[in-house]
Structure 1
């Protein structure tokens, strides 16, 4: 535990703290000695964090972010606030626009020292996608209420337990020929621990980071096709990938109950890379880590026979011969 951190013994409310990114953000805050209140519509989803906290260091609270009384209860006596809430379904303008603004307003009125808001690369009030428009609305509402807040815009976030790399890994494990939507889309995917470190770093120093927006991308730009190829190689599997045309992708995205909505396809097609003049990880003193640093280890469970099978290089050689 880092007792010299300004967050030590301070109460930090983390909205969405029981989710994928929230799990790592909470760990980064606990390591700095903060007292953390996880505010979520499903607090039980974060209970695996309990063994990582000292006695009295971690608290869970049910919160409906669309209700101001629920927000106020979760923000009671909070010294710092982090908002990680994001979704592709429901009332996006409320969940990612108005609700964050209400959080920031209540936090400011309560005397919170700093507010960190997680947005996304591509947030744009003029975007054709409801997601990007809602993210832009949230940024505006937060800064209106808490002008010194820090806005973090990550690219797609990956990690060992994510729903991005693992979704493709499961498909590659079981399917010999895979369609790739938006195959040439460039993504600067960011490692979840690095994003969590960015949140904690920004929270620690409002004087340096308050009022600024940071775009968080990994150290390399990869296309969707390259990501799939790397996953297959790490599994030691010989797979064929079929880049799907733009017209066919749009048709697929419009079909009800498919795993990709039209909004998601438009976001994918637009790519997710850090702007040339944007502040980024380096301005927070963080060196982002690449996917390749972890992929071979993470794909072990997807290889034939796992740790008891061939190495990924030998497995791929054998697959190519058969």
Structure 2
């Protein structure tokens, strides 16, 4: 599929983060200008030189008001929203970041005559409404579509890559812990009428997508309007299988301890006290639902040639 972004002005909210850096690298192949909008000025130095000289502009925004957002996107052709948080703190709440902000960006984009608006959500948010993360993400999609009906929504499964928050978390834990948790309730299997067996080997299912493939997909679909894409990688894996892949390429052995959801909730209660909690009670709720999509891989492979699996990419950044 032929894509031309020459002469376009692109604004990326949250562009200084993990996914944003890969997206900038893709867009910088064209003669376009890319403006990165973020609160975190420390991350700007990591993205400013990803493009050609002067191609990447910086838009620091401390107050995400409609007035400020409208000024930032004035004259732009494409607006992409990548902003998201995994947990709440005193400064950032799901309701504003995931629910209100997409609507504000959408309304500002509509009023400023932006040609294309792309919003990054998450796979399964419409069916996991017990979780505040998922509920806020789904409400954000609704607010976005209400203000800008032609917006395109992209819902990826767990995203992995060199600086991800998933694989790297368990890789780091394995550096100092003799065991790793396998979170999930067991399935009860009756091999006969009287002796049930607890099977912890199944657990939550994931269909991880490589960040480079996600960036390529956004590039290839950037000119489409009014679409909602579920996205997923080539392989469906259990939580346990993902942990085993990490350990395989680190060339270490660790004891894998089954942690039922009630115990995970107890762990999360204490971990939530950390400034950057590795696990929250809300994330435990997310883990109760499989994060897979039958159509997700079809959508990805339609626009991305040979999507990469976890086992292919992990050896390039896990040590």
For the aligned pair, the TM-score class normalised by the smaller chain equals 0.7 to 0.9
Match of 1:155 in 2: 157
The structure-2 alpha-carbon separation of the partners of 1:173 and 1:44, relative to structure 1 and needing over 3 Å to count, comes to closer
TM superposition shift of 1:41 = 0.7
Greater shift after overlay, 27-36 or 271-280?
A: 271-280
Matched, 1:194 2:213: yes
Which runs of 5 or more structure 1 residues have no equivalent in the other structure? 303-322
TM-score normalised by L of structure 1: 0.85
Distance 1:16 1:132 in 2: 19
Secondary structure (helix, strand or coil) at the match of 1:52 reads: coil
Q: 1:251, 1:52 → 2: CA distance? A: 42
Equivalent of 1:23 in 14, 18, 21? 21
Instruction: Summarize the Cα distance change of 1:216–1:46 in structure 2 as closer, same or farther, 3 Å threshold.
Output: farther
Q: What CA deviation, in whole Å up to 9, does each residue of 1:17-50 have, x standing for no partner?
A: 0011111111111123321000001134032223
Q: Tell me the CA shift for residue 78 of structure 1.
A: 0.9
Distance 1:269 1:46 in 2: 36
Q: How does 1:115-154 map to 2 (within 5 A)?
A: 115-124=117-126, 127-154=129-156
Q: Which position in structure 2 is the counterpart of 1:59? A: 57
The alignment yields a C-alpha RMSD, in angstroms, of 2.0
Kindly indicate which of the two structures has a greater share of residues assigned to helix: 1
2:235 maps to which of 215, 220, 225: 220
The equivalent of 2:245 in structure 1 is 230
Q: Distance in 1 between matches of 2:228 and 2:305?
A: 15
Q: Is the 8 A contact 2:261 2:284 kept in 1?
A: no
| d(CA) in 2 for partners of 1:216, 1:71 | 28
* From 59, 84, 87, the counterpart of 1:86: 84
TM-aligned CA deviation for residue 286 of structure 1: 4.5
Does residue 176 of structure 2 align to residue 174 of structure 1?
yes
Instruction: Summarize the alignment of residues 236-251 of structure 1 with structure 2, pairs less than 5 Å apart.
Output: 236-251=251-266
Q: What count of residue pairs does the alignment treat as equivalent?
A: 293
Q: Could you tell me which residue of structure 1 aligns to residue 189 of structure 2?
A: none
8 Å CA contact 2:128, 2:289 repeated in 1: no
* Contact 1:65-1:95 within 8 A present in 2 as well: no
SS in 2 for 1:280: helix
* Aligned equivalents of 1:269, 1:78: Cα separation in 2: 40
Counterpart Cα distance in 2 of 1:162 and 1:277: 20
| Residues 1:291 and 2:293 are matched in the alignment | no
Q: Which residue of 1 aligns with 2:195?
A: none
Query: Any unmatched runs of 5+ in structure 2?
Result: 185-199
* Residues 103, 147 of structure 2: 8 Å contact kept: yes
Once structures 1 and 2 are overlaid, which stretch shifts more, 88-97 or 283-292? 283-292
- Once residues 67 and 230 of structure 1 are traced to their aligned partners in structure 2, the CA distance between those partners, rounded to angstroms, is 44
Kept after mapping to 1: 8 A contact 2:157/2:232: yes
Query: Helix, strand or coil for the counterpart of 1:31?
Result: coil
TM-score (norm 2): 0.86
**Regions of 4+ moved over 6 Å:** none
In the alignment, the residues of structure 2 paired with residue 276 and residue 57 of structure 1 have an alpha-carbon distance, to the nearest angstrom, of 36
Identify which of 79, 94, 97 aligns with 1:95: 97
The question of whether the paired residues in 2 share the 8 Å contact of 1:9 and 1:33 is answered with yes
Q: Distance in 2 between matches of 1:107 and 1:279?
A: 30
Structure 1 match to 2:41: 43
* 1:69 CA drift (Å): 1.9
